[in-house]
Amino acid sequence: MHKNHSDYIICGGGASGLLLAYRICNDPYFIGKSILLIEKDDKNTNDRTWCFWESGKGDLEEIVHKTWNQAYFNADNFEMNLYLAPLKYKMIRSIDFYESMKKQLAAFDQLTQIKEKVIRIEENIVTTEIQSYYCNKIFSSIYNPKNLYDQKKYPVLLQHFVGQVVETQKPCFDSDRIEFMNFNVPQKGNTRFMYVLPLSSNKALLEYTLFSENLLEKKEYTDAISASLKKIPTGGYEVVEQEEGKIPMTCYRFDLKNSSELLHIGTAGGWTKPSTGYTFQRINEKTKELVEFLKKEQPLYRFGSRNRFWFYDLLFIDVLAKDNANGADLFKRMFQKNSSEVIFKFLDEKSSLWQEFQIMRSFNVRQFIRALCKRLFQ
pLDDT, tens digit, 9 for 90 and up, residues 209-222: 999 999 999 999 99
Q: Which residues of 276-294 are buried (b: 16+ CB within 10 A; e: fewer)?
A: bbbbbbbbbebbeebbebb
Query: Which among 139, 107, 186 has a CA at the least distance from the CA of 37?
Result: 139
pTM, two decimal places: 0.94
Determine the pLDDT at residue 39. Answer: 97
Instruction: Please write the tens of the pLDDT for every residue from 248-258.
Output: 999 999 999 99
Averaged pLDDT of the chain: 95
In contact, 86 and 339? CB cutoff 8 Å: no
| Max CA separation in the chain (angstroms) | 67
| pLDDT higher than 60, residue 134 | yes
State the amino acid at position 89 in one-letter form: Y
Read off the pLDDT band of 262 (50, 70, 90).
Answer: very high
pLDDT of residue 4: 85
Nearest to 322 by CA among 243, 213, 226: 213
* pLDDT, tens digit, 9 for 90 and up, residues 332-356: 999 999 999 999 999 999 999 999 9
pLDDT band at residue 374, thresholds of 50, 70 and 90? confident
| CA 210/CA 189 separation, integer angstroms | 11
- Provide the pLDDT for residue 2: 61
pLDDT of 160 higher than 70:
yes
* pLDDT of 36 above 60: yes
pLDDT, position 377: 81
Instruction: Confirm if 179 and 185 have CB atoms less than 8 A apart.
Output: no
Q: How many CA atoms lie within 13 A of 40 on its CB side?
A: 9
